[in-house]
C-alpha cells in the first residue's frame, strides 16, 4: 500500500469522525477470515475504521482489471463491493456479540450457527461512474435490526469525497441445507 493512500484514508476518517487523530485500523480483528474472499485478491484494501459501534469505513483501490467501460469500474463490481462492505460490518458485529449486548439476547443471538447470514435484497443507486485505480471509501451503517434480519446502508465516495453511489441491503439469517 502506498503511503499517500494511507494518509488519504486517515484524512477521510477524520473528516467523518470529527477528531484530529482517529483510530485507523489496518485490519480489524476477526477480518482475517474475510481475506479468503476473492475481493481481497482483486481489490487493494487501504484500511478499515470503526467510527461507532454500528458504522464501518472501508477504503480500497480498485485496479483496471475490474473495469467495464474503459477507465471505469464495472457496475457489478461496485454492487459486489457494496454488498461486501455491509457484510464486513455485519460479520464484525456478529463476531463480537454486539447485537445481543445492544438489543438483547433475542435480537440476534450470537452462536456459530447465527453467523450464517445471506443477502436477501440489495438495492443500489448509481450517481456517477467510479474510476479504476482511484481511491474509494465505503461508509456502511446499520439501519434496522430484527430477530432474523439486519438492514444496512452504504455510501460510496471517491477520493475527492464526491458521492458515487449508495445502496441498502437486507441480510437474513440463513438455515443452510447440509444436503446441498
- CA dist., res. 8 & res. 59, Å (int): 9
pLDDT at residue 33 above 70? no
Question: What does the pLDDT read at residue 169?
Answer: 96
- CA dist., res. 137 & res. 180, Å (int): 36
Share of the chain above pLDDT 90, in %: 23
pLDDT at residue 180 above 70? no
Question: What does the pLDDT read at residue 103?
Answer: 74
Q: Are 59 and 110 in contact (CB under 8 A)?
A: no
5 pLDDT tier (thresholds 50, 70, 90): confident
pTM of this prediction? Answer: 0.79
Q: Look at residue 21 and give its three-state secondary structure.
A: coil
pLDDT digits (tens, 9 = 90+) for 73-100: 888 889 999 998 898 888 888 877 777 7
Alpha-carbon distance values, 82 to 104, 110, 140, 153 (Å): 28, 24, 9, 9
* Structural domains of the chain, ranges and CATH numbers in brackets: 3-173 (3.10.129.10)
How is residue 174 written as a grid cell?
A: 440463513
Burial 52-84 (b: 16+ CB within 10 A, else e): eebbbbbbbbbeeebbeeeebbbeebbbbbbbb
How is residue 73 written as a grid cell?
A: 469500474
Question: What does the pLDDT read at residue 19?
Answer: 52
pLDDT digits (tens, 9 = 90+) for 104-148: 666 665 555 556 788 999 999 999 998 888 888 999 999 998 878
Q: What is the mean pLDDT of the chain?
A: 77
Amino acid at each position: 500500500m502506498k503511503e499517500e493512500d494511507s494518509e488519504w484514508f486517515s484524512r477521510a476518517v477524520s473528516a467523518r469522525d470529527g477528531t484530529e487523530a482517529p483510530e485507523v485500523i489496518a485490519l480489524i480483528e476477526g477480518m482475517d477470515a474475510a481475506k479468503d474472499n476473492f475481493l481481497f485478491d482483486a481489490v487493494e484494501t487501504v484500511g478499515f475504521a470503526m467510527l461507532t459501534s454500528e458504522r464501518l469505513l472501508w477504503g480500497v483501490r480498485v485496479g483496471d482489471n475490474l473495469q467495464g467501460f474503459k477507465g471505469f469500474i464495472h457496475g457489478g463490481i461496485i454492487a459486489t463491493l457494496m454488498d461486501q462492505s455491509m457484510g464486513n460490518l455485519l460479520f464484525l458485529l456478529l463476531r463480537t456479540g454486539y447485537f445481543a449486548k445492544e438489543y438483547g439476547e433475542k435480537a440476534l443471538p450470537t452462536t456459530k450457527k447465527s453467523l450464517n447470514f445471506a443477502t436477501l435484497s440489495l438495492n443500489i443507486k448509481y450517481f456517477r461512474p467510479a474510476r479504476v485505480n482511484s481511491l474509494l471509501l465505503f461508509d456502511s451503517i446499520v439501519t434496522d435490526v430484527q430477530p432474523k434480519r439486519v438492514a444496512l446502508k452504504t455510501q460510496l465516495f471517491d477520493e475527492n469525497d464526491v458521492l458515487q453511489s449508495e445502496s441498502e441491503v437486507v441480510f437474513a439469517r440463513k438455515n443452510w441445507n447440509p444436503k446441498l
